[in-house]
Structure 1
């Protein structure tokens, strides 16, 4: 029988402690629901004694989120433990997580306590927590840098006092996979505990090994992994939930353990966190990054078109992502172009494919990624031998009144090869919203912005513009049109027009798909 590894999610506690990741109470509740949908075993909802707001969030989550055990962190203080017990009062399943530093550094410089005093604090605090809940977790903070004999003693005392989970945190991301795996094997042999008491691992990513160390701890006997969505957390972050879960699933042959996680909810949880914190994961982030299942290289695309397993060790559908993974750009080959053209209703082979490929490469060298609208224009031009035009932004003007109750007004001027220049005006609560609405009115497509990712790349100091600045802005926008997601991108010197151009690109892609479907429907009707 395969062993079960519990997943303890600390996104709402350790994750939120990281600079730039603070969340509102509503945001925390929304994220807690997304994490619960993953079917994690434990949600560490916060640190009740940290602030009244944190305590209230834990209370809200305890009352409204069903499924996982709801946990609150506490220092080894009676006041902290009481605050956690109060916040967790309404949770059907609850845990109090008590921690205390045990390393020489923590004992001497932070706690000013002797070994004996630390052991007594562990004993009394865990016993006090057991007066409120049956499920108590204890963590010896900075366990990796704690003397082994004292670590064994501290964990044994906690177990004797009633701790049911013994967490061994690599608080500063110091350990290595070989070291932590051997440590867990040693602790499994030396720590006095009941058969029901399990070991847990909590690894930080300061040296980039949090996931590897967590997996090594599992091999050493840990049966709970503490982790966070998108790997957020103090300093360089925590073990990433999506990485460790998919590693255990993909390499079940190597680890021989399983989790209860519904992996098809991973992408949803990642996006929810990104929306709440305005911090999307890097493009090259494993599992959930924008490039995790994307292929632009012609060699890779050819392999993927034949069999996805040639270059993918897991399916995007496994994490709740619907994509074919093919990104058309300057590194793409003929096979990928022909496949995407076929999806758009154009059969390319022989001279037609060669001509389209030359035109495609010219556009790809200029714009980077060739999206649906641009590709449709290339293919239409090849078949009709007439130049095809895309919408482009000529001008955007914003009038933002001083009054807090008045809405900004945006005037956009777009240009099209056949329709010429078209101007429209719109008003909305935000300046960008008004500009986006004006664009939608021109194209006749109602769209809702799903995400905006902006990078402001400052130039080197010796490259200055007329005002002492020289920068490039790269904006990527995704929009929802009738339940479908379309993306667009733009690069410019100025933020506002760049955002509007990226939105125009996304809506143009939606328009291209709409036109394509209309043409296909007409052909079917004519054939009938």
Structure 2
């Protein structure tokens, strides 16, 4: 039997740190349920000390997971962080505290203002010992391990293992490493750190040079028994190791790696679409394993080969990752039961009856204008429902006048969180510009529009139009908004209002955090 490689998912923590990829509490629970269907070994639920909202979210995720997997909370090597994390994880059946400190010369010199290696080791040891007072499972991360001298890294890991760490995490925080060197680094640690054979060795690789998956595989090849990753490779800057890539690579090369995972790979395609729909970050068509073109063939030579035998050009069977040519087709004639069952299959479980009636009404309205309703339509429909729920501002009506040689004019009606209705009219260089100017006149939230894109949710002339916008606030933070409607102008308005809602909500959270004196989350 080959070695079991544990899959540590950090989509809800590191993945959420992708610019514009923030998720609300309900969205995190939808993703959590899907991660449980994937059968991941560990879910990193968040950074509890960062905000009351994150603290509550970690608790909710822990309750949802039960004893199906380990639930981890991130901390810095600070006693208060660890105390708060332990409190959030009290409801977890299988809790893990994930704490650590920097080890590279760059981090010690600049981030920790000249801290010595010995001081960093002492602080890491103290953090592990403090965490062990609360839980039996403590993971220690040596931040920026990819740029640390081998001997320094070995000293730190040996000390924290003696202090009680059960998992040691070797992160390539900046994505600086190359696979052969990173593998050599892991091999050195396996041979030179006393006690490392008694703990789980984890790798956490970033994709700054496009090699996160290769780095993780090099770690596995040289002794690592846990891989930290995210769905679709979400994460800081260029992202993290993509779970779907590293798991399928291990599956395809089990004998060479002497390794396997227990992931239910047939859930990958749906999980990818779900995370993309919730975060607003689209998956590139040529993305490995889950991209729209991953199993598409346009060349005549390739088509001929695949028709004769699939393995001529496909190393992965589509059904192994949940890609299928068949699907349940929903139409206006489908009843409540069929719609509810399909939504549950897509991860939208336990929808209250009153909310379901709203969803069903929106479904019927859409189905009346389309021949078929696809899964992508339902994701878009549910996304629109969630975006409107608890929104600070809601777009109620849009009226556009434009053409040649007319001056584009837009009138919008918006309801705020206090149910006050506002109407504004503005002109612009085009219909979208005029509409956004009218929205700005009401909302009055300073921002710059950085990107505007539109796509059809599904095939056909009657497809929903989905608009994605990126805006930047005065501090340089990026926020993504999405909107969908049969009218692309309305989709554009909904997307912009959604981005403004996210920006305003984050600014309010930042103000609360500043008042409480809480720092931003650690990045590993």
TM-score normalised to structure 2 length: 0.66
The 1:300/1:141 distance shift into structure 2, 3 A limit, reads same
**Matching residue within 431, 450, 455 for 2:378:** 450
Aligned 1:288-367 pairs, distance under 5 A:
288-323=290-325
- Equivalent residue runs for 1:394-409 within 5 Å: none
Unaligned residue ranges in structure 2 (runs of 5+) = 327-356, 382-406, 409-427, 433-451, 469-483, 489-524
Counterpart position of 1:380: none
**1:71 alignment counterpart:** 72
How far 1:12 moved relative to its partner? 0.6
Q: Structure 1 residues 194 and 441 mapped into 2: Cα distance closer, same or farther (>3 Å)?
A: closer
In structure 2, relative to structure 1, the CA distance for the partners of 1:323 and 1:140 (3 Å cut) is same
Are residues 1:84 and 2:85 paired? yes
Structure 1 gaps, min length 5: 325-427, 454-464, 479-486, 503-528
Q: Do residues 488 (structure 1) and 460 (structure 2) align?
A: yes
Distance 2:185 2:4 in 1: 20
2:51 is the counterpart of 1:51? yes
1:135-165 per-position Cα deviation (integer Å, ceiling 9, x unaligned): 1010110111112211110000110000011
The answer to whether the aligner puts 1:477 opposite 2:477 as a matched pair is no
Q: C-alpha distance in 2, partners of 1:302/1:177?
A: 36
For residues 164-313 of structure 1, the aligned pairs below 5 Å read: 164-193=166-195, 195-313=197-315
CA shift, 1:310, in A, is 1.1
* Alignment CA distance shift 1:183-1:194 (3 Å): closer
Q: Secondary structure at the match of 1:134?
A: coil
Q: 1:446 to 1:474 in 2, by over 3 A?
A: closer
Native 8 Å contact 1:74 1:99 kept in 2: yes
Distance 2:318 2:160 in 1: 42
Q: CA deviation at 1:443?
A: 6.5
Structure 1 residue 196, shift from structure 2 partner? 2.3
2:398 matched residue in structure 1 = none
438 and 240 in structure 1: CA distance in 2 versus 1, 3 angstrom threshold: closer
Structure label with greater radius of gyration:
1
Q: CA 1:121–1:452 in structure 2 vs 1: closer, same or farther (change >3 Å)?
A: same
> Secondary structure of the equivalent of 1:154?
helix
With over 3 angstroms needed to count, the CA separation of the structure-2 counterparts of 1:110 and 1:243, relative to structure 1, is same
**Secondary structure of 2:100's partner?**
strand
Superposition deviation, residue 299 in structure 1: 1.7
Q: Which residue of 1 aligns with 2:477?
A: none
Aligned partners of 2:36 and 2:15: how far apart in 1?
Answer: 16
CA offset at residue 305 of structure 1? 1.4
Structure ranking higher on relative contact order (CA contacts 8 Å, 6+ apart):
2
Deviation at 1:441, TM superposition (A): 3.6
User: Match for residue 126 of structure 2?
Assistant: 124
- 1:306 is displaced (CA, Å) by 1.4
Q: CA deviation at 1:34?
A: 0.6
Deviation at 1:82, TM superposition (A): 0.7
Q: 1:163 to 1:29 in 2, by over 3 A?
A: same
1:382-461 paired onto structure 2 within 5 Å: 440-441=367-368, 449-451=377-379
- In the TM superposition, residue 199 of structure 1 has moved relative to its aligned partner by 1.1
Distance 1:65 1:274, change over 3 A: same
**Post-superposition offset of 1:468:** 6.2
Q: Which moved more, 1:487-496 or 1:81-90?
A: 487-496
Q: Distance in 2 between matches of 1:144 and 1:293?
A: 34
- Could you give the per-residue CA deviations for residues 266-315 of structure 1, whole angstroms, max 9, x where no partner exists? 12221221121122311111111111111122221121111111111011
Q: Which residue of 1 aligns with 2:107?
A: 106
Between Structure 1 and Structure 2, how many residues are aligned?
377
Q: Give distance in 2, aligned partners of 1:93 and 1:161.
A: 21
In structure 2, relative to structure 1, the CA distance for the partners of 1:492 and 1:133 (3 Å cut) is closer
Change in 2 beyond 3 A, CA 1:499/1:54? closer
Change (3 A) 1:3 1:271: same
- 1:322 match: secondary structure: coil
Whether the 8 Å CA contact 1:475–1:489 is kept in 2: the answer is no
Once the two structures are superposed, the pairs formed by residues 128-147 of structure 1 within 5 Å of their partners are 128-147=130-149
Q: 1:82 to 1:501 in 2, by over 3 A?
A: closer
Contact 2:158 2:196 in 1 (8 A): no
Shift of 1:477: 1.9
In the alignment, is the contact (CA less than 8 A) between 1:8 and 1:42 conserved in 2?
A: yes
CA RMSD in angstroms comes to 3.2
Task: Decide whether aligned partners of structure 1 residues 142 and 440 sit closer, same or farther in structure 2, where only a CA change above 3 A counts.
Answer: closer
Q: 2:3, 2:311 → 1: CA distance?
A: 27
* Cα distance change of structure 1 residues 110 and 439 upon mapping to structure 2, 3 Å threshold: closer
Q: d(CA) in 2 for partners of 1:47 and 1:439? A: 39
Relative to the length of structure 1, the TM-score reads 0.66
Q: Is the 8 A contact 1:3 1:258 kept in 2?
A: yes
1:461-508 CA-to-partner distances (Å, cap 9, x unmatched) read xxxx99867999752223xxxxxxxx3368999989x96489xxxxxx
Task: Deviation per CA, 1:406-457: give whole Å up to 9, x if none.
Answer: xxxxxxxxxxxxxxxxxxxxxx999xx98x967754677778823569xxxx
C-alpha distance in 2, partners of 1:220/1:230? 25
Q: Is the 8 A contact 1:452 1:476 kept in 2?
A: no
